[in-house]
Structure 1
Amino acid sequence: MIISSWNVRGMNDPLRQQEVLEFLKRNKVDCGAVIETHIKSYLAQVIYKRQFSSYSLATNYNSHPGGRIWLLWNPATVQVRVLDSGAQFLHCSLLHFSSQKHILLTVVYAFNRAQERIELWNALKSLSHGPVDPGSSVAFLPSGVSDHSSILLTVVATHTIHKPFRYLNSLRPMLKQLHSQDYTNLTSRVAAAKLKLQDCQLLLQDSPLNHVLLLQEKHLLHQYRLVKEDEMRMLSQKAKIHHLKLSDMNTRFFYASIAVRKAKNTIGIITDAQGQLCQGHQQVTQAFLNYYQNLLGTAEPNAALPANLFQENVLCQVPHLNNMVTTSEIETALFSIDRNKSPGVDGFSSRFFKDTWATLRA
């Protein structure tokens, strides 16, 4: 059974969430503690369902609102039962299915002040613990995106189960070169950047006060974050393209997407102004009609508008409508587009045009 613990120093960043998920899967962790998440209780379920839904989750939000301890485990390999919890600890029992090994686990994340830890020590004294298995081993791994090393504890060996944009034609070779340099082979570039960062952090473990290595780690961490964010955006855009390609072919995916969208946009039940529940299409429709009729009032005769009102307003705008589109207007429109929008049929995203705008504008 493999147990891990990692102080991530905040997990609101999607990059760190992805790193934790990759860490759990890469090391085949059966039960992993994530401490100092900084995730508020109202966001916990959103992040859990989005990133960690394949794992089960236990937290200590009932003892502290800051989400100091998350415990994630693989329900296919272990059974976890929380026995006790506090603001500084989470105490539980673990049953490893394949080995039938049963252990007690206490995850501790103590407060900084000694006075605040008295409650923790008193709680730990009352908890029951057995001896550590003599075959257990522990490994301290590079810190990665955090500044704390992750810990892997092996308690018992686990068993493996077997053509638009024509005006850019003259720039196309240069654009392709820029795209090739900065936006291709992102997955391999992420792996290479992570390997360099880990190698530097391993050297830092031997020379923690080496100023050159500290600066190098900072630079490598920055580079890793950049390429990792690029990869995440690319995968997000690919997911959108995949949706578009499938939904344009009248496939089952297309009809399933329609059904999901229809369900989201359908109001099946509503409370009217009198507090009565209205169900079904006819009652819900009537409730909306009654509400807006009362809100807007009944029809009343309106005063006639001057016959030339709209003509005068349109004529005064004609000179502006005939003006040429300026470069600054194009730039304003371009930079108002979100960087993660899907690329067009030519494969170039809005982020690509933003990053190369200095060249394109010239």
Structure 2
Amino acid sequence: MGGKNTEKGTTQNIRGFNDPIKQQEVRGYLSRNKVEVFGLLETRVKQNNFATIIRTFPSYSVLNNYTHHYNGRIWVFLDNRRVTWISSSGHDQLIHLELLHHISNKTVHVSFVYGSNDATHRERLWHELRGLKPKVTNWILMGDWNIVRAMEERIGPNPPSITEILAFNQSLLDCQLEDLHSFGCEFTWTNKRDTTTIIWSRLDRVISNSLWMGHFPNTQVNVLPSGISDHSPLLVSIHDHYQQKRRFSYLNCWEDHKDYGKVVKEAWDIPVKSNAIHRLFPRLKNVRLQLINIHKTSYSGISGKVKEAQQYLHDYQISVQTKPLDSSLLALEQTLLQTYLDLKKAEKSSLTQRAKIQDIKYNYAPTSYYFARIAARKHQSIIGKIKDRHGIEREGMHVVNHAFIDYYQWLLGKEQGAFVTGRSIFENIMLTQSLIKGYGQQGVSPRCLINVDIKKAFDSLQWEFIGKMLQQFHFPEQFQRWIMGSCLVYMLIQIKQIYMGGIREGIKQEILRATSYIEGELPFRYLGVPLNEGKLNKAMFADLITKVQREYSGLLLSSPGDFWNYEESHRKLIMKSWDSCCTLYQEGGFNIKEILAWNKSIICKWIWEIVKHSDSSWTTWNYTYNIKYGDFWTLQKKSTHSESCRSILQVRDELLEMVGSGANMEALLHGCVKKGCIQLHLLYDQFRRKGSNIS
């Protein structure tokens, strides 16, 4: 479980450590988990037996607090081979250590806590923690606190005292400490009684300050089953830092910037040559870049800017008293005051938004507590442990990421064409065309295809921001109501229809009765593309053709000068052929793409996918059922091939006529590959009409 990029610490309350069986259990636990630091609590071992027991742990040096408590309530085991001990201090409820963290080469402060059962005695612990706060940097605390932080952290009779809970939370607030996110068991202690008197409680926890969360964001706390004790062990793993790409987050305070509206409008109005949906994303990107510039110049390091503005204002207010009646100085003071207030407002807005703290309208102060809350909120989103598809637990950011991806690649398989790098959703369309080939024929093997509709919506957006953006760009009010009224989180999986082939009518009816599905008829649409078991005809594409005609209606005729030259001096129109219009500008044309040539270029992309044996279901299907043990370059067209397969073979034949052989064709395709991707514009240049360059 451990490794060269992971360091581990743990703590557990094990009452009665004189028992050899418990000692053996602990040795096995430390060895299995490769623990460097271990805090053992409530040993109930007399001091004269201490040396005898620790000799059975030869790999560890052991500290204790017998000088502060006669029972030595806390023992700390240190593996000197992997941890460097710098200093330590003791207390009857605490042992505090300063250690050298080997992975980061940073000094860390670790406190092992065993809080008293008596609330009055615990006040001494809270006082000790407040005294340690100014002396530490990266600080983590773990152990049995003997008190919960909330009423819901305890189940059973004798509820905890609200006063004691508030005292605990206040001490953590004073020390600016926050719980580290944990996974595993919800409760850490039970009295193991019958159901009428049993108590479950979360007495053990791991806490840290914001500096720790900043330097060790991949710290994970696993609450394990209690085993030989009535307390669960807390296993803390510190993984090597995994730097994630920072996400863009919109901050509401940007809207108060004096240039906000102007910058957003100018960025949005940058011309983008594309259709409506393809213009959206470049425009959003332009807006994002300009907002980032605003942030860098005006809001980056906002707390530091607030302090500077405050100091500048105070200094100026002192100096202005030398000329108290100078109106220009008084006006400048008001300007400085407004600058300070604007920065203060932006700071509060930023921190509130980042920390999700909605209750700081009063008594607001940008202390490290708020930064701790921000760090804690970020830490809560970390998935520290996961079971892979084989049921084996995986831990650590790198390992969890790989396990997650591996699981969904296994679950979705190569059939997942959308939203996967290097895949195209069109592969799914062509594969489906191949699958339904022959569905209407007699004598085919029994088969069925189910059309599933999955609808999703994610509430991960700031809808307040979306509403403001819709208003900013003057979307119609009715459209705004539609968008803002649909902010729901839902996932609906709906079986739309089932298509069957080669199945006897009686069995078909039994399937329909058992499933309550509706039998569909071919052709049908998949991702907007008509699919049929036979040949596709023009009528099947009527809706698509109408949509294209509607989209580009009048476009070609809106600027007649694009298709002929008008010579004013001779009052004469010079007509140009369509062929010449499809040549490059330097060849006297208008660089209009020739549809047939562009279509052949796209088909060449799929030829390349077959030739290079790409890792996709569509390619695997072709090699399994079409090419088999033959050669793609010599494969003959068959009636069993789908329309897409026949089109690919037709273009292949044209290419072979052009270049002579499959080897030459592969070389041509390879020459069109840049950075691992085939470039369509280079392929298009092989098929387009070419004219003579004009001077």
- TM-score, with structure 1 as normaliser: 0.42
Work out which of the two has the higher radius of gyration on C-alpha atoms and give 1 or 2: 2
More helix by share: 1
- Highest RCO, 1 vs 2 (Cα 8 Å, sep ≥ 6): 1
